[in-house]
Chains A and B, each alone.
Chain A
Amino acid sequence: MTDPIGLPAGTGPLAGVKVLDLSWIVAGPTVGRALADYGATVIRVESPTRVDTARVVGPFHGDEPGVENSGLYGNVNAGKWGLTLDLRVPEAREVFRQLVHWSDIVCESFTAGILGRWELDYEHLRRDKPDLIMLSSTLLGQTGPYNTVSGFGSQGAGMAGVQFLVGWPDYPPAGPFGPYTDYPAPRFALAGILAALDHRRRTGEGVFIDQAQAEGTLQLLAPALIDYKNGGPALERRGNDDPQMSPHGVYPCQPPDDRAESWIAIAVASDDQWTRLAPIIRADASLTLSDRRERKDAIDEQLTAWTKQRSAAEVQSTLQTLGISAHVLSNTEEAANDPQLSHRDHFRRLPHALHGETVVEGPRYILSDTPVDIVRPAPQYGEHNEQILRDVLGLNEAEVQALAVSGALS
């Protein structure tokens, strides 16, 4: 690298890649987290005067709400450097411009049009830095009549059809857990950014990515959308019903003493699997899929009578031994103790200045030869302000002081 990073470089495949992360909450920061995991130097920029919602959403350390206590914020920002900037202040915008010059990649998720007002959108930034890679990620994208709609992923779930598709036909939509568009969106954005980095490496060209988080989420509904757009029925929410599996659902089990309920997920995917399940619930093993679908209620009753007498763990083990898909509906304690997740080292413990120790999730893919080293927990507000302003931008103490006085750093 000809351009010094100014901060201690990471190790891994992306070591030397510099990222300016102005995104917030989950969809954007998750991308920066993945880049940091693999060695990129990621500066997370935020403003305490406009609190990142992730900081005020739990789970909280010790169940104590607080902007430095959020496990969610910690999870999506681990490994990053923290800088506070209030872009409404002109001096802050100048710092931002200099940091853009330093960076390879800028990620942002402001409402469409906001950065343009400050002449900090891609069209302006590329004039000085034509090889910039920039991700602008919003619910509905940079263009279109509703491009400025505000919202979290919860609104995204509504706009992406997922809210409607979770629940029971005779109930209002239950919706998925939380802001659903925040879950698929970062996968598409990460792949796009990594491809852009590869493209720039070969061609020197910059890349702009306009991500509508809803459009990413719609990829996961593609079969239902294509069906409807081409004259088929519009998919409705259908509980846990599956047209090609039966029995298929969530069944009650005997809960442990300290819990009110306990559930098992069971999916019988073939007639062959059914012939193995039928004898233990005293059902007719010769029933085909359509027979079983027709007698769904009766079979569910038989199956429930059997699961209710047993712990979910026992049902899981019995059915998996028979080659039938079944798993306990894990709560977060069970997940923390899940031997499979432990085997993958999923819960990573990191030393933390305020909490002694914090826990973040490991990466969702294991690369055999380049394991992830999460070098630091998510930054506290402004934790690295001085270091970044001094070592990356070369400001002296008086200049840093002047910035603070201008309000740029709040």
Chain B
Amino acid sequence: MLSPYRVIDLTDERGVLAGQMLADLGADVIQVEPPGGSTGRGVAPFFAERPDESIFWSAYTRGKRGITCNLEDERGRNLLLRLLETADFLIESSDVGRMAELGLDYGTLQELFPRLIYTSISAFGQTGPKAHYVGSDLAIWAAGTPLLMTGDDDRPPVRVSQPQSWGHASGDAAGGALLALHARHKSGLGQRVDVSAQVSAAQATLAQILAYSVGSPDPERYGGGLKLRGVGSRGTADVSDGHIVMTLAPGPAIGHFANHAVKWLVDIGAVDESVGDEDFVTYADRAAVGQADPELFPRVQQIMREQVASRTKQEMLDISIEYDLLLVPVLDIVDLGQSRQLDSREFWREIGHGDGRVVTYPGPPLKVYLDGQAMDGRMSPPPGLGQDNEAVYGELGLSVTELASLESAGVI
């Protein structure tokens, strides 16, 4: 879909997913690294058989081309400027102010390339009192408010063990850049897209970040659920080989799922058939005025927990599908790796690396059909350092000899 467009991707580990999203939608994305390699190549984990090769970096450069360019050298900057003549998008995630030091800030590039869409990803945004704060996954999650809401109530708040903040920000960068593309269709002009990871992280609060602003109390952290006004409600339950997430509640929005759960309990003989006559869609209102037994629902919850405890994650998933329950297993990484659902959707892709290895990757995030025809993401292997120098710089008219001398001078 985006095949007419070229993206010059200057991001490091803080923004590297954004370009990949555009690549998976068809754009020609050229990852530009310093001659010594991006700092992203140093981010864990690493391939067991290749301890110097970052899985993180491979994960998010899959589908891109890769070149090297020393932006600290004037010759390197000139090469970049020539490359930008062919580009629609630039994405960068360097420390705020760094692009200006290099003479590559938005103001400068806008004059040279008025159609260029210049997207910046940073921890707090390009301007403002915290623009120069040092960001990190944890600090961003703290500043955007999801961190305080997450964790067990007797332990400190806790993040996701695979860092998430920059991924959310990168996702917003891709969306913002494409909105700017549509603006360019109208105005003929590019513009600056300024993404703040702090703001992106706030998305992970289910709008609870607005609690104070609308006059509601903050939720408090509670393991496996949430706590409001000091009352915790747990959404997870134990099963024989791990945990499930189970939502069981009366009410107009989801009471029918509770009815389904009761039907299962009746079918297996865990509750009397008479319980199956209760309608949990309207139960709460009736219980409040004494027209339904207020003890009934808590008893159903308790029996449900007892019944699931002796079953496996897989058994409960199958029951959930059969009876249409709000209940799924808590999948771990091994479960995901063996998921029949993901296999059936051909989620995993084997991609040959240049050195003969075949590496399994997650496929693209969306299944896209153009006029009924499936379109795939870009499944080329992550580029080695400077892998596409010849092809990309060659398009600009640089000869192999010129490239060799630029390489020995440390420019590429």
Contacts and interface: CB of A to CB of B under 8 A. Distances in A.
Nearest to B206: A178
A381 to B, nearest CB: 13
A250 B138 CA distance: 8
Nearest to B332: A164
Nearest to B146: A177
B336 A265 contact: no
Interface in B191-210: 191-196, 198-200, 202-210
Nearest to B54: A223
B308 to A, nearest CB: 13
B257 interface: yes
B37 interface: no
A140 B329 CA distance: 13
Contacts of B225: 175
Contact of B139 (A52, A215, A325): A325
A177 B198 contact: no
Contacts of A244: 43-44
Interface stretch (A68-76, A93-101, A382-390): A68-76
B384 interface: no
A365 B176 contact: yes
Nearest to A330: B145
B210 A360 contact: yes
Interface string B270-307: 00000000000000000000000000000000000000
Contacts of B187: 369
B199 A341 contact: yes
B344 interface: yes
B189 interface: yes
Interface stretch (A1-9, A84-92, A206-214, A278-286): A206-214
Given A154-B245, A332-B211, A338-B143, A171 B223 contact: yes
Given A172-B223, A174-B152, A208-B369, A331 B145 contact: yes
Nearest to B320: A149
Given A148-B321, A149-B328, A361 B17 contact: no
B120 to A, nearest CB: 10
Contact of A323 (B134, B150, B185): B134
Interface stretch (A102-110, A192-200, A291-299, A399-407): A192-200
B206 A252 contact: no
B196 to A, nearest CB: 6
Given A51-B252, A171-B223, A220 B336 contact: no
A301 to B, nearest CB: 14
Interface string A129-159: 0100000000011111111111110110111
B329 A154 contact: no
A191 B235 contact: no
Interface string B128-169: 111101111111111111111111100111111111100110
Contacts of B387: none
A336 B130 CA distance: 15
B113 interface: no
A205 B371 contact: yes
A195 B26 contact: yes
A365 B173 contact: yes
Nearest to B106: A368
A12 B238 CA distance: 50
A93 to B, nearest CB: 21
A232 B47 contact: yes
Contact of A184 (B150, B163, B167, B212): B167
Interface stretch (B56-64, B71-79, B397-405): B56-64
A125 to B, nearest CB: 12
A327 B4 contact: no
Contacts of A344: 125, 128, 196, 199
Interface string B315-333: 0010011001111111111
B33 interface: no
Given A160-B331, A191-B21, A225-B336, A332 B129 contact: no
A409 B148 CA distance: 42
A167 interface: yes
A34 B134 contact: no
Interface in A258-286: 263-267, 269
A183 B141 CA distance: 13
Most chain A CB neighbours (cut-off 10 Å) among B156, B210, B226, B348: B210
Contacts of A155: 245, 247, 326-328
Contacts of A245: 136
Nearest to A142: B367
Nearest to A328: B142
Contacts of B206: 26, 57, 72, 177-179, 182
A232 B167 CA distance: 22
Given A227-B55, A228-B334, A234-B332, A240 B138 contact: yes
Given A330-B148, A368-B194, A240 B158 contact: yes
A124 to B, nearest CB: 13
A177 B226 contact: yes
Interface in B216-258: 216-219, 221, 223-226, 228, 235-236, 238, 243-245, 247, 251-254, 257
Contact of A188 (B140, B160, B331, B365): B365
B6 to A, nearest CB: 14
Contacts of B380: none
Contacts of A310: none
Given A226-B59, A366-B193, A140 B252 contact: no
B167 A56 contact: no
Interface in A353-407: 358-370
A313 interface: no
B12 interface: no
B175 A365 contact: yes
B1 A199 contact: yes
Nearest to A147: B341
B336 A218 contact: yes
Contacts of B324: 148, 150
Given A176-B204, A222-B361, A335-B209, A324 B134 contact: yes
Which of B58, B236, B251 counts the most chain A CB atoms within 10 A? B236
Given A63-B215, A331-B148, A364-B196, A194 B181 contact: yes
Name the residue in B175, B216, B245, B326 with the highest tally of chain A Cβ atoms < 10 Å from its Cβ.
Answer: B175
Contacts of A191: 21-22, 25, 171, 174-175, 178
B82 interface: no
A79 B176 CA distance: 18
B139 A144 contact: no
B216 A71 contact: yes
Interface string A26-46: 100010001000100000000
Given A149-B317, A228-B337, 10 more contacts: A144-B345, A166-B158, A173-B243, A177-B204, A187-B174, A191-B174, A194-B181, A250-B142, A335-B145, A367-B183
22 contacts: A62-B214, A146-B341, A149-B328, A164-B333, A166-B159, A176-B160, A187-B168, A191-B22, A209-B368, A209-B369, A216-B366, A218-B362, A223-B45, A224-B162, A229-B348, A323-B134, A332-B210, A335-B202, A336-B212, A343-B127, A362-B199, A369-B183
